Amino acid sequence: MNVAIVGCSGMGRLHAEMIARCGLNIVVCADANAEAAEALAATCGAEVSTQGKRALARKDVDIVLIATPTPFHLEYILAAAKAKKDIFCEKPFCRTVDECKKAIAAAKAAKVKLFVGHVVRYFQEFETLRAQIAEGKIGEPGFAKIYRGGIFPGGGKSWFANYKMSGGVTLDCMIHDLDWIRYVFGEPKRIFGQALMRGGDDPMDYAQVTMRMKNGLIATVIGTWAHPSGFRVKAEVCGSGGMVHFDSADAPLRAQKRDSASGPNMIVPGSPVAESPYELEWREFIAWLEGGPAPRVNAHDGLKAVQMAEAALTSIQTGHPVRL
């Protein structure tokens, strides 16, 4: 199967590696930024394009990976559906719930498969938390807290700093945890949130959100793009008979290098695994295309995650809880 990559910055590059590991062939790398497209194409022997829609419609393309900034997801999904290509869309699914609905309708009408990459469902640590809870190790869960984030991605000039486009840390990053909480604990009832969403040359975002789930569980989620450096994930779930806890700072590798010519150099804790969660999501997606079972996350889940993030953003704006 041949893949067209649309969007060749960070996530596009990461997915290209996973696509290659899964034995698929990348035929074209497209990005409005020609340099980014060329750089990625060079690593996988693909052709270069600055015209995403033309590239994805090529006859030899079977799968389209969409890894552009969020507000462009819909137009590429529509174009890929029109061209009858199966679609792997990076999260967040789209910028708004309305866009998600249009995307789902288009894929359905065109009879193409549409996958949304909520990769946290594939992370081994989160799967282990889920399994321990399912085995009843903590009794009936009543409370969950997830913390995720670190440095602002790309600094003040990146599209992430345009909150209208990115939705800030709430829509772009915390959406992982909103999705995982819904995956494990069911549907949310109401949401309250606070966030900084500071712009300027030195942007910062820090979101604090609490969800009341329909089953009564309370979930508090902290998302940060306010740290000077690093990245950290912490999760805990408390129940009537115990508690599970994870902290990415507890890792098998921790290295510190002596200062180099370019200044102090630090390698953050590393936690390598034999199978990358990103590779796992690709393998499930490919198996689905080949007639296997549907992946553990679908486009409807992607829509629900956007709906939760949108509700959080509404609460952040209005200062009032939002019912779902």
Partner 1 sequence: MVKIGIMSFAHMHAYSYAACLKQLPNTTLGAVWGENPRRAKAAAKQFDTQYIRDINDFLEADIDGVIICSENVKHRAMVDVAASAGKWVLCEKPLAPKPAEARRMIRICNRAKVGLGTAFPCRYSPALIEARKQIQGGEFGDILAASCTNHGQFPGGWFADESLAGGGATMDHTVHVVDLLRWMLGREFTSVYCELGNQLHPEEISTDDLGSLHLEMEGGIQVSHLASWSRPKSFPTWGDVTIEFIGTQGVLNVDAFNQKVDVYSDAAMKTEWAYWGSNIDLGLVADFAKSIEEEREPSITGEDGLRAVEVTAAAYKSARTGKRVEI
Name the segment binding partner 1 (CB under 8 A); options: 68-76, 137-145, 164-172, 272-280: 137-145
**DSSP letter at 20?**
H
Residue 3 contacts residue 27 (beta carbons within 8 Å): yes
Q: Which two tokens stand for residue 205?
A: 């975002």
Please report, as residue ranges, which positions from 150 to 169 form the binding site for partner 1 (by CB under 8 A): none
Please tell me the distance from the alpha carbon of residue 224 to that of residue 234, in angstroms, as a whole number: 12
Residue 39 contacts residue 6 (beta carbons within 8 Å): no
With both helix axes pointing from N to C terminus, report the angle between 97-110 and 73-82 in degrees, rounded to the nearest 10: 10
Residue 92 phi/psi, 5° resolution? -65, 145
Residue 249 phi/psi, 5° resolution? -70, -20
Query: Does 269 sit near partner 1 (CB under 8 A)?
Result: no
Residue 93 contacts residue 302 (beta carbons within 8 Å): yes
Q: From the CB of 317, what's the least distance to partner 1, in Å?
A: 13
Q: From the CB of 288, what's the least distance to partner 1, in Å?
A: 36
Q: From the CB of 145, what's the least distance to partner 1, in Å?
A: 7
Please identify which residue in 93, 126, 160, 206 interacts with partner 1, judged by CB under 8 A: 206
Which residue intervals of the chain are DSSP H helices?
A: 10-21, 34-44, 52-56, 73-82, 97-110, 124-134, 163-166, 168-172, 175-185, 277-289, 299-318
Nearer to partner 1, 115 or 225 (CB): 225
Nearer to partner 1, 170 or 276 (CB): 170
Name the segment binding partner 1 (CB under 8 A); options: 26-34, 52-60, 155-163, 202-210: 202-210
Q: Which two tokens stand for residue 74?
A: 């819909």
Query: Does 242 sit near partner 1 (CB under 8 A)?
Result: yes
Name the segment binding partner 1 (CB under 8 A); options: 52-60, 77-85, 135-143, 292-300: 135-143
Query: Does 174 sit near partner 1 (CB under 8 A)?
Result: no
Please report, as residue ranges, which positions from 280 to 319 form the binding site for partner 1 (by CB under 8 A): 319
Query: Does 71 sit near partner 1 (CB under 8 A)?
Result: no
Q: Which residues in this chain contact partner 1 in the complex, by CB under 8 A? A: 138, 140-143, 145, 147, 190, 192-196, 198, 204, 206, 208, 210, 212, 216-218, 220, 222, 224, 226-228, 238-243, 319-321
